[in-house]
Amino acid sequence: MKSKAKTAAVTVPKPPLGKRLKDNWQLYLLLLIPIILTFIYKYIPMYGIQIAFRDYKASRGILGSKWVGMEWFERFFTAPTCARMIRNTVLLSFFSLLWSFPVPIILSLCINQLRFAKYKRVVQTVLYAPHFISTMVVCGMIRIFLSPSGGLINLLLHTSIDFLTESSAFRTIYIASGIWQDAGWGCIIYLATLSAVDTSLYEAAKVDGASVFQRIMAIDVPALLPMAILNLIMSAGSLMNVGFEKVWLLQTDLNKATSDVIAVYVYQQGIENAKYSYSTAVGLFNTAVNIILLIIVNQIAKRASDVDFV
Amino acid sequence: MGKNSKTSGFSERTSDIVLVAITLIVMLLVAYPLYYVLVASFSNPYDVYAGKTFLLPSGFTLDGYKAVFADANIFTGYLNSIKYTIIGTIFSVTMLYITAYPLSRKELPGRKFFSLFFLLTMYFGGGLIPTYLVVKQTGLINNMWALFLPGGVAVGNMIIVRNYFQNSIPQELIEASEIDGCSKLQTFWNVIIPLSTPIMAVMVVFSMVAYWNDWFTALIYLTGAEKAPLPLVLRNVLIKSSASAAQASTISGGYAELNKITEMIKFSSIIVAAAPMLIVYPFVQKYFEKGMMAGAVKG
């Protein structure tokens, strides 16, 4: 996936660098603002990560604050809810990935084989819709549907369960609503991949008497596999990146046994309690685990398919 | 052979029916929750909670919508969201274009370095607090620009746009315009921008949706309640279930009436918040796949 065949062309000697810089001054001018903004708001914060190892005091600045080494990390690992938060974070994203990953693949295999163009378009429009709704609104809907008095789910089940106070229901709620919101949108990349499949393959398969199911298994699935693996690797690299927004909005005091995750803790400690150094340390731990996971999964995939994806 | 084609013809039809049935069920599962909220927003909330509104409104009323627009907080949030969405979209799409264009020109010295400079920020970042501290130091707390500037360039989208410039715009046109004496900026203005409307439409919609729906950035950086965008205002209505003081003072029917309005406003505010983006995206839907594919091609 890396190498690109170089076209053999007559090589014209490049003009000197000074002239090339001068020829392109307008392009550099365009890049100026994006570079400045990216430097200030992306690179300077990377430099600021070191406050995870310091006792940051705004009045002293980053370099003036006392170096404390691993103290914040030790405090996190000895915090009473530390093990629970790590477990909840990993389990929530692991189960989320497990359930959410196959759905767009199966859906796009079905949608791709629909033969009525207009109907196909309608299916796509409807399936994409929830992606365009704010998590705030989605969580509002979840709360309405799960309400113990008159919520849709309880009406249908003839029960009056307060699901959001049951820690055993939290993961299911989180994952099911996630699939509802994003499985359709997740189809786009697969549908785009499938639309590039050579249609003569289908014709040939039809002549050979292959059923639709056989065509899907023999043509579409192999065509999707590289994209699916790539997606899986990228998701594995963000396994610890449980979205803050939904968890925070669906968390109640009673479901914390499963809804207490690192991202919410980072927010509470950092923004609500202004414990800047401690929050940064916890966030850094989270990122470090992510990077390690990404490398491990990439290695496994490389060995399995001889392709270096990342 | 004849028999074979007949069975395959039969199975084609069966499989069509199966596929349509599957996709119909999926569509229902996706659309019904939204439909239910829409129906409930026109109904008496007590009928909703009694299970009388599974298919059609019961006790038809527009009071929910009246209450939404009468609520000063929601109204301010609405205006804020419109303002942030317009300014943010113009800002973001401009940033995407002025970054993607230079990086799409292969002759630019240092192109690889600049690409890497932006790309790295996709994989590494400072995290919540270090970013917050920089935003604070640059004086953006409780300033609208905190919603736009720290996001800077949306790198994933920028790559999609750059690949579009490289792969979907005929390079001969660019060369021709420069042989005719256009500068690189003029080429950008006269060739690239007019020829990239499909990807621009997609990016405009992506940005609009992102700004319209965002509340986390506002939660952190916009400390003043009067600057909160709509979703953040709705947090009180939808998540905390609290009636605002403004509502309580304007309603004269006592606690029961207030309670009723509090419930109705939940449904109508969901519709009011979700509708604008749900109306917009189908118009550019046909470009989504194209754009995604352009972005997936490594260049």
How high is the mean pLDDT of chain B? 88
| Residues B145 and B184 reside in one and the same domain | yes
Tens-digit pLDDT profile for residues B6-22: 444 557 788 889 999 99
Contact assignment for B127 to A284 by CB distance below 8 Å: yes
Q: Write down the pLDDT at residue B296.
A: 57
Report whether pLDDT(A5) > 50. no
Q: Write down the pLDDT at residue A3.
A: 44
| Residues B75 and B218 reside in one and the same domain | yes
Q: Is residue B262 part of a domain?
A: no
Average pLDDT in the B87-96 region? Answer: 97
Report whether pLDDT(A2) > 60. no
The alpha carbon of residue B12 is apart from the nearest alpha carbon of chain A, in Å, by 7
DSSP letter (8 states) at residue A273: S
Report whether pLDDT(A242) > 80. no
Q: Is residue B239 part of a domain?
A: no
Contact assignment for A267 to B15 by CB distance below 8 Å: no
| Residues B88 and B174 reside in one and the same domain | yes
Q: Write down the pLDDT at residue B236.
A: 87
Q: Is residue B215 part of a domain?
A: yes
Q: Give dist(CA A37, CA A45) in Å, integer.
A: 12
Q: Write down the pLDDT at residue A208.
A: 86
| Residues B48 and B24 reside in one and the same domain | yes
Contact assignment for B127 to A135 by CB distance below 8 Å: no
Q: Write down the pLDDT at residue A289.
A: 87
Report whether pLDDT(B171) > 70. yes
How many Cβ pairs closer than 8 A exist between chain A and B?
Answer: 260
Of B48, B220, B274, the CB nearest to A150: B48
Q: Are A136 and B231 in contact (CB under 8 A)?
A: yes
State the DSSP H helix or E strand holding residue A67, giving kind and residue range, or none if neither.
strand A66-67
Contact assignment for A37 to B232 by CB distance below 8 Å: no
Report whether pLDDT(A247) > 60. yes
- Burial label for A123, CB within 10 Å (0-12, 13-18, 19+), is buried
Report whether pLDDT(B134) > 80. yes
| Chain A residues 226-255 with CB within 8 Å of chain B | 227, 244-245, 249
- Tokens 């009388």 belong to B52
CATH number, domain with residue B153: 1.10.3720.10
Number of neighbours of residue A34 by Cβ within 10 angstroms: 23
| A91 interface with B at CB cutoff 8 Å | no
Nearest to residue B127, comparing CAs of A280, A41, A273, A235? A280
Tens-digit pLDDT profile for residues A20-70: 888 899 999 999 999 999 999 999 999 999 999 999 998 898 999 999 999
Q: Are A220 and A212 in contact (CB under 8 A)?
A: no
Tens-digit pLDDT profile for residues A51-60: 999 999 988 9
Q: Give dist(CA A308, CA A288) in Å, integer.
A: 21
- Least reliable range by pLDDT among A127-136, A220-229, A270-279: A220-229
The DSSP-derived string for B83-110 is: HHHHHHHHHHHHHHHHHHHHHH-TT-TT
Tens-digit pLDDT profile for residues B225-258: 899 999 999 998 888 876 554 555 555 566 777 7
Query: Greater confidence, B287 or B28?
Result: B28
| Residues B49 and B74 reside in one and the same domain | no
Give the predicted TM-score (pTM) of the model: 0.89
| Chain A residues 51-90 with CB within 8 Å of chain B | 51, 58
Q: Write down the pLDDT at residue A299.
A: 83
Q: Write down the pLDDT at residue B243.
A: 54
Number of neighbours of residue A67 by Cβ within 10 angstroms: 10
Contact assignment for B133 to A276 by CB distance below 8 Å: yes
Query: Greater confidence, B191 or B288?
Result: B191
| A205 interface with B at CB cutoff 8 Å | no
- The confidence band for B295, taking pLDDT boundaries of 50, 70 and 90, is low
State the DSSP H helix or E strand holding residue B187, giving kind and residue range, or none if neither.
helix B184-187
Domain limit, last residue, from B9, B26, B61: B61
- Name chain A contacts of B133, Cβ cutoff 8 Å: 45, 48, 51, 58, 276
Q: Tell me: domain A82-305, CATH 3.50.50.60, correct?
A: no
Q: Give dist(CA B275, CA B273) in Å, integer.
A: 6
Report whether pLDDT(A301) > 80. no
Q: Which of A3, A19, A22, A41 to mutate to test the interface with B (most CBs of B within 10 A)?
A: A41
Work out how many domains chain B is built from and give that number. Answer: 2
Domain limit, last residue, from B20, B39, B61: B61
| Residues B133 and B210 reside in one and the same domain | yes
Of A34, A47, A276, the CB nearest to B99: A34
Report whether pLDDT(B158) > 70. yes
The residue type found at A130 is P
Q: Under DSSP, is residue A101 helix (H, G, I), strand (E, B) or coil? A: coil
Report whether pLDDT(A116) > 80. yes
Q: Is residue B246 part of a domain?
A: no
Query: Greater confidence, A240 or B242?
Result: A240
Q: Per-domain residue ranges for chain A?
A: 17-69, 82-305
Distances in Å between the alpha carbon of A50 and those of A41, A71, B118, B298?
16, 13, 22, 34
Tens-digit pLDDT profile for residues A145-199: 999 888 999 999 998 899 999 999 999 999 999 999 999 999 998 998 898 888 8
| Residues B85 and B116 reside in one and the same domain | yes
| Residues B36 and B148 reside in one and the same domain | no
Contact assignment for A48 to B12 by CB distance below 8 Å: no
Q: Is residue B263 part of a domain?
A: no
CB-based contacts of A56: which residues, under 8 Å, 6+ apart?
A62, A65, A276, A277, A280
Tens-digit pLDDT profile for residues B38-91: 999 999 888 888 888 899 998 899 989 998 988 899 999 999 999 999 999 999
Q: Write down the pLDDT at residue A17.
A: 84
Of A30, A33, A140, the CB nearest to B234: A140
Nearest to residue A43, comparing CAs of B67, B233, B126, B213? B126
| Residues B150 and B15 reside in one and the same domain | no
| Residues B56 and B117 reside in one and the same domain | no
Query: Greater confidence, A17 or A157?
Result: A157
Which structural domain, as residue segments, surrounds residue B8? 1-61
Report whether pLDDT(A273) > 50. yes
| Residues B121 and B191 reside in one and the same domain | yes
The reply to whether ipTM tops 0.85 is yes
Q: Three-state secondary structure along B258-297?
A: HHHHHHHHHHHHHHHHHHHHHHHHHHHHHHHHHHHHHHHC
Neighbouring C-alpha atoms within 13 Å toward the C-beta of B88 = 28
Q: Are A188 and B284 in contact (CB under 8 A)?
A: no
Domain limit, last residue, from B61, B93, B113: B61
Report whether pLDDT(B299) > 50. no
Number of neighbours of residue A292 by Cβ within 10 angstroms: 12
- The confidence band for B4, taking pLDDT boundaries of 50, 70 and 90, is very low
Report whether pLDDT(B218) > 60. yes
Contact assignment for B117 to A35 by CB distance below 8 Å: yes
Report whether pLDDT(A1) > 50. no
Report whether pLDDT(A252) > 50. yes
| Residues B24 and B90 reside in one and the same domain | no
Neighbouring C-alpha atoms within 13 Å toward the C-beta of A73 = 12
Q: Write down the pLDDT at residue A10.
A: 57
